């Protein structure tokens, strides 16, 4: 006796499942980059249009046909032997499309294993055994700023404040005046490093995961 397959209990359940399939980890990670590259208005309009008029209807047709035949992707094309190989290509495509998500999850898994140690390896440069040059490493801290980013940090802080007398800094093609005392203090207390211990550890994790 064939196994009885489950069906959708309501239309709302089906629509919720289709929405969950449309939004995955990969799309969430790519959204900030695409918004910065194309602008929030252009990206949101294009993304929602593609989801509403392309992705949703394709998923809806697939779910309706599967619901009607009560078969998986392998038995759904038995009605037409010519398309029987399509089920295997769909499974292969699904596995290959999810490989980047597996890499991201592996990063999080490595961080989780190292985080439970008595001292996390990215909290200090003494444990930065992966760094090619220990002298370029600095420990991330809110009290210190890398020397190569002092100008950018101060320009962002005082941009639009209307300071008339001070040290001129160029940020995004515009000249921003920064108080001399603030610039001298930030330059005196900055860290002479070019890469944080956390960034170095992340590069090491990526090289191991890939």
105 is in an annotated binding site: no
Side-chain-side CA neighbours of residue 165 (13 Å): 1
The tokens describing 112, both together, are: 């989780």
CA distance 9 to 159: 56
Q: What angle do CA 56, 57, 62 make, to 5 degrees?
A: 100
Binding-site entries for Na(+):
23
Binding-site entries:
23
């Amino acid at each position: 006796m064939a196994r009885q397959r489950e069906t959708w209990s309501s239309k709302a359940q089906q629509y919720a499942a289709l929405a969950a399939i449309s939004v995955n980890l990969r799309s969430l990670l790519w959204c900030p980059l695409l918004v910065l590259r194309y602008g929030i208005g252009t990206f949101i309009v294009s993304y929602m249009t593609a989801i509403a008029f392309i992705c949703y209807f394709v998923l809806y047709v697939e779910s309706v046909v599967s619901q009607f035949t009560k078969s998986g992707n392998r038995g759904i094309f038995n009605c037409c032997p010519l398309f029987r190989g399509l089920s295997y290509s769909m499974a292969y495509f699904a596995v290959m499309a999810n490989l980047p998500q597996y890499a991201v999850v592996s990063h999080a898994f490595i961080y989780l294993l190292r985080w439970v140690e008595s001292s996390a390896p990215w909290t200090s440069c003494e444990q930065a055994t992966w760094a090619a040059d220990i002298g370029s490493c600095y420990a991330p801290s809110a009290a210190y700023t890398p020397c190569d980013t002092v100008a950018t940090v101060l320009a962002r802080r005082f941009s639009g404040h209307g300071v008339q007398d001070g040290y001129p800094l160029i940020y995004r093609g515009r000249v921003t005046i920064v108080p001399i005392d603030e610039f001298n203090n930030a330059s005196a207390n900055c860290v002479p490093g070019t890469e944080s211990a956390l960034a170095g550890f992340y590069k090491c994790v990526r090289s191991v995961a890939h």
